[in-house]
């Protein structure tokens, strides 16, 4: 099917983009890579009178590092995130999640800002943002905001964004020391959204116990979620005393796991626990320098 008719706007700056959104009102929508929005327009699941294209705004693109944080511009494509040496070195979890997103043609257009704004429960980046306590930087006609990832994903395809609010960048803290990172996902076919997936980050102390750890789940709730209870039970414990399979089960305990034609909640829970356990093993192995 073809989308309904809309007017096209191509602002040159973030300020111009949000002032357009403010003046055009509810009928206006940001389009970035269009890899989620265009199918919704074509299927007429979404109808907008105005599309505000932010892909031409140079200042929204690019990756930079300063003072222990890595800033990724919202308009940076998923492919560019995947190619970035800074991301690979300083935010390995983000780099390792990238190849799981769709396929290359999708990643060549889709942006990190669009991915977190779209907030699909089965998308990888929201789970990475949650696990790494990323900050989502925004601009609206009322000024700038820094929204912690933990407060950003509010429900199925819903976020803390106002309709006239633009994500300008994501900021990730750099983990240093004896760290390890892994992403595991199970999907029906390569490039499909995950049935269940997990992102794990661990930092070990010099004596080999877990100094801190973060587990982000995707495809396993109404939004991406953090497995806080499982993290807390693992923190402070020596690695040999931890059973990865039990961490997987603990991570899934009490989650609001969805059921659909691809799998029941019980099935997804089992797959999700296995994804956590596998990612945990790999992250710990890397952190231990094995």
Ligand X SMILES: Cc1cc2nc3c(=O)[nH]c(=O)nc-3n(C[C@H](O)[C@H](O)[C@H](O)COP(=O)(O)OP(=O)(O)OC[C@H]3O[C@@H](n4cnc5c(N)ncnc54)[C@H](O)[C@@H]3O)c2cc1C
Binding footprint of ligand X on the chain (CB under 6 A): 29-37, 39, 54, 74, 78, 100-102, 106, 109-111, 113-115, 117-118, 120, 123-125, 161, 166-167, 191, 193
Number of residues that this document lists for the chain = 290
Binding partner selected for residue 105 from ligand X, another protein, none, CB under the kind-specific 5 to 8 Å limit: another protein
3-state SS assignment for residue 256: coil
Which helix (DSSP H) or strand (DSSP E) does residue 61 occupy? Answer: none
What are the structure tokens assigned to 101, written together?
């997103």
CA pair distance 198, 212, nearest whole angstrom: 17
In the region spanning residues 82 to 121, those forming contacts with another protein, defined by CB under 8 A, are: 99, 102-106, 108-109
User: Which residue number, 224 or 227, has a Cβ lying nearer to ligand X?
Assistant: 224
Minimum Å gap between C-beta 28 and another protein is 13
Give me the phi and psi of 32, to 5 degrees please: -110, -100
Cβ-based nearer residue to another protein, 39 or 177:
39
* Cβ–Cβ < 8 Å for 8, 53: yes
Rounded distance between C-alpha atoms, residue 241 and residue 210, angstroms:
10
Phi then psi dihedrals of residue 236, to 5 deg: 85, -10
Write each residue from 121 to 150 as x if it is in contact with another protein (CB under 8 A), else as -, in one continuous string.
------------------------------
How many angstroms separate the CA atoms of 134 and 150, rounded? 8
Q: Which lies closer to another protein via its Cβ, residue 77 or residue 179?
A: 77
CA pair distance 35, 39, nearest whole angstrom = 7
Which residues inside 4-63 make contact with another protein, applying CB under 8 A? 4-8, 10, 31, 34-35, 38-39, 41-43, 49, 51, 53, 55
Q: How many residues bind another protein (CB under 8 A)?
A: 33
Nearer to ligand X, 73 or 92 (CB): 73
């Amino acid at each position: 099917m073809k989308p309904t008719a809309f007017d096209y706007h191509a602002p040159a700056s973030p300020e111009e983009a949000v002032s357009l959104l403010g003046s055009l009102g509810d009928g206006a929508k940001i389009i970035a890579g269009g890899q989620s929005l265009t199918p919704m327009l074509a299927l007429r699941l979404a109808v907008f009178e105005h599309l505000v294209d932010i892909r031409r705004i140079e200042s929204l693109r690019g990756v930079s590092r300063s003072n222990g944080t890595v800033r990724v511009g919202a308009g940076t494509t998923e492919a560019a995130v995947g190619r970035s040496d800074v991301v690979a070195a300083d935010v390995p979890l983000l780099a390792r999640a990238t190849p799981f997103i769709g396929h290359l043609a999708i990643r060549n257009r889709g942006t990190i800002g669009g991915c977190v704004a779209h907030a699909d429960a089965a998308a990888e980046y929201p789970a990475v943002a949650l696990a790494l306590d990323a900050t989502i930087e925004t601009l609206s006609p009322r000024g700038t905001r820094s929204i912690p990832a933990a407060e950003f994903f509010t429900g199925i395809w819903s976020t803390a964004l106002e309709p006239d609010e633009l994500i300008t960048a994501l900021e990730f803290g750099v983990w240093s020391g004896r760290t390890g990172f892994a992403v595991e996902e199970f999907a029906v076919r390569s490039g499909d959204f995950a049935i269940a997936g997990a992102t794990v980050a661990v930092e070990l102390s010099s004596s080999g116990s877990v100094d801190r750890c973060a587990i982000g789940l995707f495809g396993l709730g109404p939004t991406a979620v953090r497995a806080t209870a499982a993290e807390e039970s693992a923190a402070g414990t020596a690695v040999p005393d931890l059973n990865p399979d039990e961490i997987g089960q603990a991570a899934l305990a009490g989650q609001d796991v969805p059921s659909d034609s691809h799998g029941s909640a019980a099935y997804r829970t089992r797959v999700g626990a296995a994804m956590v356990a596998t990612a945990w093993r790999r992250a710990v192995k890397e952190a231990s320098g094995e």
